[in-house]
Every structure is written in structure tokens, then in C-alpha cells.
Structure 1
Amino acid sequence: MKCINKRLCPAIAAAVATVVISGCGNNQNLINAYNLDSDSPVAGISASAGEEYSPLFAEDLCIVAGDIPGAGDIDMTQAEAAALFDIDSRETMFSKNAHEKLYPASITKILTALTALKRGNLEDVITVTENALITESGAQLCGFRPGDQLTLEQALYALLIYSGNDAGIAIAEHISGSVEEFAKAMNEEAVALGATNSNFVNPHGLHDDNHYTTAYDLYLIFQEVVKYDKFVEIINTPAYTMSYTLSDGTSKEVTWNITNHYLKGTAATPEGVTVIGGKTGTTQKAGACLILFSKNAQGTPFISVVLKSDDRTTLYSQMTDLLEDINK
């Protein structure tokens, strides 16, 4: 069978491959049929009889079928899921529960950024609405008020460095007119990348039972968004100072400090490893979460992710275990 919708073809094909293949995606024996469960965003898509998939649909992807122990002493007993991917060789170096559906918390914002970068312009001026006045207890907020104006580029810095949930709302409404329409756009982007075990209902990751993803799907999304130089520049910025316009026409200057402990200098990076950046995420139900883009001493790029760790201290210890593996 061949996908009628060419944009969804990689998504369906990747979903098939995850069932049977572990390791590099460049495999000539890939399955040429699919069988998606009823929860999949692309379930029910039909194709004409007699058509076939291209055998190269996953040639640039790491594919994971089951758990992979890794080369080093990696202890993930206090995390629900984790994975380590070599981007260049397309090798999955470690995997635990990579396809388990979990809450991503603010790691959601990597998909928010991807959707905004693809569908907006950095120079766009955003006007904040009342919907950005999030009242949920514990929500990380930049403090934007209705009528405030800032550029999309500034909003992305606030979103990814400070993890401002109100910045996520402002971006979503600017790009799509509403959070609901933006969530549809997020899911479209996810499915197009093969992230078929995910469903996103908001741009910030505050808890919703129907907002979930997997470690593997996050790898697929992250691998795509790090292709954008602006995204990499933002996540590699320890602090960012910006001036935006308040609703009364005056300006306000603020500085956002990054939440990533490696870039803050409060977590030690293994020798020979360079952490480019990533995204943190924490809610009560999601636990402590982190995804990173890093390079080893030879400059080889890697993506690592830990989901639902017990606490932030444990999270960074577990991530360091993964990072130590990339120089072995």
C-alpha cells in the first residue's frame, strides 16, 4: 500500500517500523503495510489496493522496537522512559519504554516552537490577549498582560528559555487564531514526522489527560526542530534580555534565565560532551522531564530524553548517565 496523502506517508510508515525494527532505519526489508491502533491520529486512513511504500521511508531515522541496555552503567529505575539516539549513524544507543504514552509537561514547547517556526515569521508582532492570563497554580509565567506586544522571536525566547506558559498561548493565538486550532496544527506537524503515538491539546504542556507523547515521538520532533538555526541559537542561550511594548505604549525590559541546569552550570557535563541545549518539563503527573541536543568530543550530534523521573536531582543524574555513553 502507498499513502495517498504524501505528507502522512512517513508517519504511517514509521509507525509500522517501530513494531519490528531496532537500530538504523536504512533497512531494505522494511514492512510495506501498516496496522495502526484506534488511538493513532492517522488511524482509519485508507490506500488503494496494490500500491506499495517506498523502502527508504525511514532511512534517516533511528527505529526502536524494544528496550536497549546501552554501553555504560545507566540506571533508569527511577524514570518511566528514556532514550539516547546517535543522529548521524541513526543508532539507538539506549531505550527504556520508548513507545509508552506519557505526559511531556513543558517539553511540549519544542513542538510549539517547530510549528511557529514553520508557520510564522520571526518579525511578526504578537498582541497578547486575556487568554494568556493563566491562573493554574504553579504555572511558569512571564507576566504578559492583555494588549502587550512583542515579536514572535521574543516570544520564542520566553517560551524556550524561561518556559513561559503565557508565551505559548500568545504564540498559538498569533499563528492559528486560537489554542484549539494551533493544537490541530501541532498534531499535523507531529503526524507528518511519524510521531503517531502522541496527541497535543495545548502549546505549553500544562496537564491535560488527553495531552501525551512518547520518548520516541519526542526524538522525531526534536530531530526536526534542531534543523532550524534559530531554535538551536535559542536553546543554547543561558540568558536573554528583551524589551517589549506594554498595553499603555511604554516599554518594559526583562531578562529570561534558562531552566536547563547544564547551561546554568548547576549540573556537571561529562568530559568531552557539549550540551547544546534542550527543554525541561515538570508537572506533578509528568514528573521531571528533559530532552537534550548534545555533541561528543568528535562533534557527533545526539538526542537524549528522560521522562517521568522522580525529581529534578535524579533527572540530571540520569541524563548525565546517558551523556557519558556518547563518548564510549
Structure 2
Amino acid sequence: MKKQRRQPYRRRKRKASLYNYLVILMILVILLTFLLAAKWYFQKPDDPVSSPAGTSQIKLNNLASPNAVLVRLNSDGTGEIMAQRNAAERIYPASLTKIMTAILAIENIDDMGQRLEVPYDFFPYLYEMDASMAGFEPGETATAEALVYGIILESGAECCLALADLIAGSEEAFTGLMNDKAEELGMTDTHFSNTTGLHDTNHYTTVSDLAVLLEYALKNPEFRKIFTSSYYTVEPTNMHPDGFTMQSTLFENLGDQNIKGGRILGGKTGYTDEAGLCLASLAEVNEEEYILITAHAAGSHETEQYHINDALTTYGQLEK
């Protein structure tokens, strides 16, 4: 009788031991899965990549901008990626679009001193879309150079459309030139639907592609001069007999801030509700030049300028 009582007890004990082993095994599997997931998260491809020898690793995962790429410009004109974050993810470029508009205008106009009229007909549309303007009035006559400055410094949509009309006859035709140029440059995940960056679901790019574009554009001396200007004074016109001065939106937001061991040389800001705060900038740190493209930071023109903060944070990591 005693043996008959002990046998069920032993079976229960063996079952309890097996159950404990299974629980421990499950805990170990869960812990291992968690550790592997954490390793993947902190070392995924779009996180900062190793910097060249002699420099510290650049961190981008603490930025307000979820999409970013930092490129060092070499003396031979090529670029070297220093760090990237979600660089291949599609974004809406907002007014960073105008980098393409400006470089194409420069390349397709023989005489930047020629004067042209800013047409009346597209102003109602731009007013309706609340597009950013450089300050030119309907029917105003200004030089092509002044209009390109208006594109980069003040993000002037009226300047984009006036130059598109001059070069290609319409914004639609000019947009075709933009897409052709993007293909030529190897911007493999970019499509332009307009010259201004006003929101369109079929108007997209990546920060990686925008870095390719800016690297190319900066090789043009005229573009570089405009991109790095803090202001430009428009000569007297039929609408502004005393002329007027345009200010760079980047330098206006930057104010007295800058980076130790260098300085931000120039840039182009951008914003729409869908694109968030965007910035393409050029900086010199430790006698070397870098470009940084950031996109989709939260905020607006009325909030703290998180894209400017991100530029200061990122370039600041390059200090020796």
C-alpha cells in the first residue's frame, strides 16, 4: 500500500520538475529574443555608421529629425557619408525642392543679368496655397539673378514659377527637366511634381538623394555663392523704386548661434505640414566641409526650430 501511495507522488514530482524546466527554458528564450532585438535596434543599418579613422563616431539617433545624412566633402569634389539615419526612407522635401529648381535655372540661363517679368497669372494660386514668397509683386521686372536669390534665401515660390516659365514655358515642362536631372544624378528614389515643394503625394525623395543633389549643386560657383549668402539687395524695380533686401531664412533662424571649431556656411530651409521641418546645410568644421540633410522634424515656423538645433548638434560632434 505504501508503494502504491508513493508512485503517484513520484509522478507528480517528475511532472513538476519537467514543468519547471520548461518555464526556465521559456524565460531563457524570451530573454535571448529580447537581447537580439535590442542589438538589432541599436545597430540597424540606418543608424550612425562608423566615421573615418581619426574621428569619433557621429550619433544621429538623438535628433528631432527622424531622417538625416551627414556627408564630408572631399577635395576632389566627391562626398563621403559620415553618418545616416533612415536615409533611404521616402520623405516629402518641401522647399528643399528648390535646390533643384535653382541649380537648373543657373545652368539654363546664359545671362543672369537679364530682366524678366514676374507674371500675374499664378499669384492667385500661390496666395490660395499660402506659399512662401520672396517679396516680388505681380508684374514686377527683376533680374534672373535676383529671382534665383529669392528662391534660395526667401524660398520664393513666385521666383520658381517665373524662372520655370522663362526656361521651359511652363512649370509642368520645367518639372520634366527636374526629373531628367534627378535621373542623371542617380537620385534613384526621387520624383518631382512641381518646382516649389508644395505638397503632392507624388512629389517625394530621400535625404540620401538630396545629399547627392546638394553635393552636385555646390560644385557650381554661382549656386555656392547664393547658397552661402545671408542676404541680397534687389536693385530698384518698377514696383520697388528703392529696391529691397532679402534675408536667408537659415541665417535668420540661426541668429548668433554657431558651432565651435567652425561655422555654418549656408543652407536651405523647408516646411510643410506633411514634410515637417527640413534643412539642407553646408558647414566648415576643422577646415573641412560637410553637408547635412535633415527632414521631418516636428514643429512649424511658430515653434522652436528643431531642424536648426539638429544641425548645431550634429556639426558640434565633429569638433576636435
Give the TM-score band, short-chain normalised. Answer: 0.7 to 0.9
Counterpart of 2:203 in structure 1 is: 211
Counterpart residue identity of residue 110, structure 1: I
**C-alpha RMSD of matched pairs (Å):** 2.1
Q: Distance in 1 between matches of 2:256 and 2:189?
A: 31
Q: Distance in 1 between matches of 2:217 and 2:250?
A: 18
Partner residue of 1:288 out of 277, 282, 285 = 277
In the TM superposition, what whole-angstrom CA distance separates every residue of 1:294-319 from its partner, at most 9, and x where no partner exists?
1112x211110110011253222222
Partner residue of 1:279 out of 268, 275, 278 = 268
Question: How many Å apart are 1:137 and its aligned residue?
Answer: 4.5
Question: After alignment, is 74-83 or 288-297 more displaced?
Answer: 74-83
Q: Distance in 2 between matches of 1:86 and 1:288?
A: 23
Counterpart residue identity of residue 67, structure 2: A
Distance 1:178 1:76, change over 3 A: farther
Taking structure 1 as the reference length, what is the TM-score of the superposition? 0.73
Classify the secondary structure of the residue corresponding to 1:290: strand
Residues 132 and 144 of structure 1 are in contact (CA less than 8 Å); yes or no, is this contact kept in structure 2?
no
Counterpart residue identity of residue 189, structure 1: K
Q: Distance in 2 between matches of 1:221 and 1:195?
A: 8
Counterpart of 2:289 in structure 1 is: 301
Q: Determine if the alignment matches structure 1 residue 174 to structure 2 residue 160.
A: no
Question: How many Å apart are 1:217 and its aligned residue?
Answer: 0.6
Taking structure 2 as the reference length, what is the TM-score of the superposition? 0.75
Distance 1:246 1:209, change over 3 A: farther
Q: Determine if the alignment matches structure 1 residue 68 to structure 2 residue 48.
A: yes
Q: Distance in 1 between matches of 2:200 and 2:253?
A: 30
Counterpart of 1:80 in structure 2 is: 66
Number of equivalent positions: 260
Unaligned runs of 5+ in 1: 1-64
Counterpart residue identity of residue 297, structure 2: S
Distance 1:265 1:67, change over 3 A: closer
Q: Distance in 1 between matches of 2:258 and 2:67?
A: 21
Residues 148 and 244 of structure 1 are in contact (CA less than 8 Å); yes or no, is this contact kept in structure 2?
no
Q: Distance in 2 between matches of 1:76 and 1:199?
A: 29
> Identity across aligned pairs (percent)?
30
Question: How many Å apart are 1:284 and its aligned residue?
Answer: 0.6
Counterpart residue identity of residue 251, structure 1: P
Question: How many Å apart are 1:111 and its aligned residue?
Answer: 0.5
Unaligned runs of 5+ in 2: 1-44, 51-56
Counterpart of 1:254 in structure 2 is: 244
In the TM superposition, what whole-angstrom CA distance separates every residue of 1:89-126 from its partner, at most 9, and x where no partner exists?
74311101111111111111110011111111312322
Question: After alignment, is 229-238 or 192-201 more displaced?
Answer: 229-238
Distance 1:96 1:123, change over 3 A: same
Counterpart residue identity of residue 92, structure 1: I
Distance 1:307 1:72, change over 3 A: same
Counterpart residue identity of residue 145, structure 2: E
Distance 1:73 1:190, change over 3 A: closer
Q: Distance in 1 between matches of 2:104 and 2:79?
A: 24
Counterpart residue identity of residue 193, structure 2: V
Distance 1:131 1:183, change over 3 A: farther
Classify the secondary structure of the residue corresponding to 1:84: strand
Residues 63 and 310 of structure 2 are in contact (CA less than 8 Å); yes or no, is this contact kept in structure 1?
no
In the TM superposition, what whole-angstrom CA distance separates every residue of 1:133-169 from its partner, at most 9, and x where no partner exists?
0123432113434432111101011111111111111
For the pair shown, the structure with the greater C-alpha radius of gyration is: 2
Residues 58 and 82 of structure 2 are in contact (CA less than 8 Å); yes or no, is this contact kept in structure 1?
no
